[in-house]
Amino acid sequence: MSKFIDITGQIFGRLVVLRMAEERSTEGKARCVCQCSCGNIVTVDSQHLRRGSTRSCGCLRLETNKGPRPIHGMHKSPEYKAWAAMKSRCTNPKTVSYHRYGGRGISYDPRWGKFENFFSAMGPRPSPQHTLERVDNSKGYGPGFCVWATRKEQSRNTSTNHLLTYNEITQPLAAWAEEFGIQYDTLHGRIERNWEPSQAFTKPVGQRLSKVKITLNGKTRSLKIWCRELGISLNTMQARIRLGWPIERALTEPVGQSHGKRSEKKIHFNLQ
């Protein structure tokens, strides 16, 4: 049996101890009859009062949560998990991605503090591949600012994405990579090295220039062989191509005469 401590008259949070209760708890602990500031009379464990785990009759919890906990049966649903993750990355500094959201001032509409309002605006998640996304990265989460999007769609809306204009069309680099069937990292590296878009989009990946097959005047040779026959070093030829020279000019213009008169001989060629 715990030691008896009379705490009559003391105040703990919203509770004032009116008297010690005659009966102890089932564990043999002292109990107190208290009056809450809201007017309710409750009997609570003395130890809970002294430890600070009980501070009201229950009204404080209701006010903090702005009402009883909603019963919607969706706590394990993907929509609820997406909503909870949204709140966490906006408000919890311990969340791994907080620095990219709450740390940057990204927040959510106060109405979305309740899951029911979030679900009413967003509706069910279309598929397991869809996640919650903001349509404008400069704004927070809220009605009209968010959609369910796939990972691919989200990658085109990141704050680190690159926009590129080609043939009067502007779209993210990720979209160009998909359109031309080239890896994003490969295309990004080429653009960073100041490649012309047409060359960056179309040059075969993983194919060494020296082994590229070129058909010239009915003869097919590797670039290396053509260099040998035409008397141009392979390094010079590769440099010309990387600078964006057309193949015809790269093959036929004499070394050291790039500003002189070019050969007017007509040459037909094909890349293979």
Q: pLDDT of 166-207, one tens digit each?
A: 766 766 777 777 777 777 777 777 777 777 777 777 776 655
Mean pLDDT for 80-109 is: 89
Residue 266 predicted with pLDDT over 60: no
Same structural domain for residues 42 and 83? no
pLDDT at 129: 84
Is 157 domain-assigned? no
Query: Average pLDDT, whole number, for the chain?
Result: 77
Give CA–CA dist 113/134, Å, rounded: 17
Per-residue pLDDT tens over the stretch 211-265? 667 777 778 888 788 888 888 888 888 777 767 677 777 888 887 654 444 433 3
- According to the model, what pLDDT value does residue 217 have? 74
Q: Show the DSSP H helices in the chain as ranges.
A: 46-51, 59-64, 78-91, 115-122, 151-155, 173-180, 184-192, 197-202, 223-230, 234-242, 247-252
What pLDDT, on a 0 to 100 scale, did the predictor assign at position 260? Answer: 42
pLDDT of residue 108: 93
Distance CA 58, CA 47 (A): 17
Task: Encode pLDDT of 11-56 as tens digits.
Answer: 898 899 999 988 888 788 889 999 988 888 999 998 888 888 888 8
Q: Is residue 154, in this structure, part of any structural domain at all?
A: no
The confidence score (pLDDT) of residue 210 equals 59
One domain for residues 56 and 99: no
pLDDT confidence of residue 225: 85
In a domain? residue 59: yes
Q: CA nearest 268: which of 193, 215, 232?
A: 215
Same domain, 87 and 135: yes
Query: Is residue 183 situated within a structural domain?
Result: yes
Global confidence as pTM: 0.37
Does residue 196 lie within any of the structural domains? Answer: yes
d(CA 149, CA 153): 6
pLDDT computed for residue 207 by the predictor: 53
Q: Judge whether residue 112 has pLDDT over 90.
A: yes
DSSP helix/strand/coil, 21: coil
How much is the pLDDT for 90?
Answer: 92
Q: What is the pLDDT of residue 74?
A: 84
Residue range 115-173, pLDDT digits in tens: 999 999 989 998 888 888 887 777 889 988 888 887 666 555 554 556 677 766 766 77
- If one counts the domains in the chain, the total is 4
Domain of residue 188 covers 163-202
pLDDT for the residue numbered 68: 46
Can you say whether the dihedral through the CA atoms of 222, 228, 230, 235 is positive or negative? positive
Quick one: which of 198, 201, 199, 210 has its CA closest to 237? Answer: 210
| 268: pLDDT strictly greater than 50 | no
Quick: pLDDT tens for 63-80. 766 544 555 678 889 999
Q: How far is CA 133 from CA 5, 7, 155, in A?
A: 56, 54, 10
pLDDT score recorded for residue 3: 63
Residue 55 within a domain:
yes
Q: Is residue 235 part of a domain?
A: yes
As given in the structure block, the two tokens for residue 196 are 């012309």
Q: Which two tokens stand for residue 214?
A: 């070129």
Confidence at 109, pLDDT banded by 50, 70, 90: very high
Query: Do the Cβ atoms of 263 and 252 come closer than 8 Å?
Result: yes
- Is there a single domain that holds both residue 38 and residue 15? yes
Residue 2 lies in a domain: no
